[in-house]
């Protein structure tokens, strides 16, 4: 099964951790029909459930309210990670919001592919080593 394309966006949102309803993120940076990546305001663990609310982009009157689970935590320590962010997969999204999102995502550029953790990384030789 092919994954849905991720699109580069910069959309305000409210990402709330379900267990204590604390705000953990306020900016979506990647978005697809399967999930999103949000800049993290505070630490969150993989597997935690969250609630996300944002306005569907490009002037739609619809709000997207969804349930999601944290599938990846980028701590921002490795080159190319960027700032700390959370990858989330939607577990529930209203059908009408999903349909509107699908139409609106066509307007956003597809995000650059990120290297996978299990891909070989080519390193430059260390100076002075043979």
Band of the pLDDT at 103, cuts 50, 70, 90?
A: confident
pLDDT of residue 13: 94
CA distance 76 to 129: 29
Query: Mean pLDDT over residues 33-49, rounded?
Result: 94
User: Residue 121: pLDDT above 50?
Assistant: no
Mean pLDDT (the chain, rounded): 80
CA distance 22 to 104: 29
User: Residue 110: pLDDT above 70?
Assistant: no
Helices (H), the chain: 95-105
User: Residue 123: pLDDT above 70?
Assistant: no
pLDDT of residue 40: 95
Query: Mean pLDDT over residues 24-33, rounded?
Result: 92
pLDDT of residue 81: 66
Across 76-95, b (16+ Cβ under 10 Å) vs e yields: eeeeeeeebbbbbebeebee
| Higher local confidence (pLDDT), 27 or 113 | 27
pLDDT of residue 2: 52
Go through the domains of the chain in sequence order and give each one's CATH number: 7-105 (2.40.10.220)
Query: Mean pLDDT over residues 106-112, rounded?
Result: 63
Percentage of the chain modeled with pLDDT above 70? 72
């Amino acid at each position: 099964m092919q994954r849905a394309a991720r699109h580069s966006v910069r959309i305000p949102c409210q990402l709330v951790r379900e267990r204590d309803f604390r705000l953990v993120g306020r900016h979506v940076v990647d978005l697809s029909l399967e999930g999103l990546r949000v800049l993290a305001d505070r630490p969150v663990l993989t597997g935690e459930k969250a609630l996300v609310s944002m306005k569907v982009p490009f002037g739609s009157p619809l709000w997207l309210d969804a349930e999601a689970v944290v599938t990846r935590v980028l701590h921002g320590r490795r080159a190319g990670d960027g700032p700390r962010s959370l990858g989330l997969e939607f577990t529930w999204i209203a059908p009408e919001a999903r349909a509107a999102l699908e139409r609106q995502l066509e307007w956003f550029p597809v995000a650059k592919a990120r290297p996978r953790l299990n891909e070989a990384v080519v390193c430059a030789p260390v100076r002075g080593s043979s």
